[in-house]
């Protein structure tokens, strides 16, 4: 479920009054809802990258990385008993919102199986471009992306891992704000965290051009060392790694 709410929703009393203009700002959020009434919210996330002008003055950006939660998928009701032994099956889920997909998704504890991607674009061309970026993020992480665009002339579909060159499984144009249903499969690896391939951009992010330049200059060892350290989640040790080679 995606939503928009006052950014001061968690503030009370004097804290809310001291906010001034900030107290009137909004924030875009996404919540994954559970059927369990005792613990109805699996996770909550707020948009990190705001649309310039359209949102930069009226909304506030979150500094928190996307969450990653594992939910248990029960066996289908008509599945034969022998096949039910592998259920429930774990499904790791994360999320990002609209313009967040222009950047690599920050480091997660392990690969997600599914990325929930709410959006609200204002033109079919923008919707197609953003859906393509979401598909790229899914390919980088080896995850399927459920893209739900509630904007005008919207594009909706399932993209990402295993969807072919365009990363597209289903698509509906012009149905912003309407419900749609898609059936698709997610690879199951027996409950283990599968080490799926990452693209260079997913591993290096903004350092990818630097790696390319290092390769052109004939210092492949430097690029290899940097990529190894980024994959290990230690970008702060880049300078130390380069000095070790000198």
- pLDDT, residue 223, reads 53
Whether residues 192 and 226 fall in one domain: no
Whether residues 190 and 228 fall in one domain: no
Task: Report the domain count for the chain.
Answer: 2
pLDDT digits (tens, 9 = 90+) for 12-40: 444 444 455 556 889 999 999 998 888 89
The answer to whether the CB of 140 falls within 8 A of the CB of 198 is yes
Whether residues 67 and 168 fall in one domain: yes
Least confident span in 6-10, 118-122, 124-128: 6-10
- Percent of the chain topping pLDDT 70: 63
Whether residues 130 and 229 fall in one domain: no
Whether residues 162 and 227 fall in one domain: no
Q: Quick one: three-class SS letters along 10-46?
A: CCCHHHHHHCHHHHHCEEEEEEEECCCCCCCEEEEEE
* Residue 90 burial by Cβ neighbours in a 10 Å radius (0-12, 13-18, 19+): middle
Hey, how many other C-beta atoms are within 10 angstroms of the C-beta on 12?
Answer: 9
The answer to whether the CB of 148 falls within 8 A of the CB of 172 is no
Whether residues 231 and 145 fall in one domain: no
**How long is the chain?**
246
State which of 176, 196, 216 marks the end of a domain. 196
Range of the domain at 227: 205-245
Whether residues 74 and 157 fall in one domain: yes
Whether residues 77 and 187 fall in one domain: yes
- pLDDT, residue 82, reads 84
pLDDT digits (tens, 9 = 90+) for 63-112: 999 999 999 988 888 888 888 888 888 999 999 999 999 988 877 888 89
pLDDT digits (tens, 9 = 90+) for 211-231: 556 555 555 555 556 556 656
Q: Quick one: three-class SS letters along 175-242?
A: CCCCCCCCCCCCCCCCCCCCCCCCCHHHHHHHHHHHHHHHHHCCCHHHHHHHHHHHHCCCHHHHHHHH
Per-range mean pLDDT, top range of 6-10, 98-102, 129-133, 176-180: 98-102
Q: How far apart are CA 173 and CA 156, in angstroms?
A: 7
Whether residues 180 and 218 fall in one domain: no
Q: Tokens standing for 114?
A: 């599914």
Whether residues 115 and 180 fall in one domain: yes
Whether residues 85 and 188 fall in one domain: yes
* Banded pLDDT at 118 (limits 50, 70, 90): very high
Q: How far apart are CA 117 and CA 200, in angstroms?
A: 22
């Amino acid at each position: 479920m995606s939503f928009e709410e006052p950014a001061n929703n968690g503030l009370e009393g004097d804290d809310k009054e001291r906010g001034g203009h900030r107290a009137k700002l909004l924030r875009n959020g996404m919540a994954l809802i559970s059927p369990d009434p005792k613990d109805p919210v699996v996770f909550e996330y707020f948009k990190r990258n705001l649309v310039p002008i359209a949102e930069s003055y009226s909304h506030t950006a979150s500094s928190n990385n996307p969450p990653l939660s594992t939910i248990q998928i029960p066996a289908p009701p008509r599945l034969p008993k022998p096949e039910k032994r592998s259920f429930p099956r774990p499904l790791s889920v994360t999320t990002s919102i609209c313009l967040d997909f222009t950047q690599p998704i920050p480091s997660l504890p392990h690969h997600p199986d599914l990325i929930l991607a709410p959006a609200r674009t204002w033109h079919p061309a923008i919707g197609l471009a953003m859906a393509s970026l979401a598909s790229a993020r899914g390919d980088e992480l080896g995850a399927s992306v459920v893209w739900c665009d509630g904007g005008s002339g919207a594009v909706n579909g399932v993209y990402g891992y295993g969807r072919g060159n365009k990363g597209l499984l289903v698509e509906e144009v012009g149905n912003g704000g309407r419900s749609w249903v898609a059936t698709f499969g997610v690879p199951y690896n027996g409950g283990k965290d599968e080490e799926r391939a990452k693209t260079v951009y997913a591993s290096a992010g903004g350092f990818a051009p630097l790696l390319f330049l290092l390769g052109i200059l004939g210092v492949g060892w430097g690029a290899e060392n940097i990529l190894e350290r980024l994959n290990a989640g230690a970008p702060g040790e880049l300078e130390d790694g380069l000095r070790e080679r000198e």
